[in-house]
Amino acid sequence: MQLSCSLWILSYNSFMSKIETIINQSNIKLTTARIAILELFAQAKKPLCYEDIKSKLSMDKATFYRNIAKFEEENILNSFESNDKKRYYEIQKNPHAHFICSSCSKIECIKEQNISLEGYKIDNIIIKGICPNCL
């Protein structure tokens, strides 16, 4: 048990170091609310909307969106709107495309990294279609 606790502490410290690096590279202060939001997004394997994480946060909706707006302004998070008119967010990494199922609204990140258009700066690519589960 001691070993797993030690590993968790090292992992958590490494994770917090990454969050602090992200914050320090921007023009914002590290607050409890911002740490809570970034922790959720850093651990996510897919983009998240407010409804996905509201039960895991101890802040009101206005505080969440105020912090999200600041993160977007500082290029820490990026966002897109899905078929269900919800805005989804994720930590900004390498630009990549997202697939949104037109039937069930499932969202998946597309791992293809060589998406480019000569002479253009691409911020976001959304591909819509029908996922294998809905075919």
Q: What residue ranges define each of the domains in the chain, with the CATH number in brackets?
A: 2-91 (1.10.10.10), 94-135 (3.30.1490.190)
Q: What is the pLDDT of residue 134?
A: 95
pLDDT of 2 above 60 = no
- Contact at 8 Å (CB) between 44 and 90? yes
User: What is the C-alpha R_g of the chain?
Assistant: 17
Q: What percent of the chain has pLDDT over 70?
A: 84
pLDDT of residue 13: 62
Query: Average pLDDT over the chain, rounded to whole?
Result: 82
pLDDT digits (tens, 9 = 90+) for 66-78: 999 999 988 888 8
Comparing 10-24, 44-58, 86-100, 115-129, the range with the smallest average pLDDT is 10-24
- C-alpha closest to that of 20 among 41, 44, 46, 38: 38
Picking from 51, 19, 50, the residue whose alpha carbon sits closest to that of residue 32 is: 19
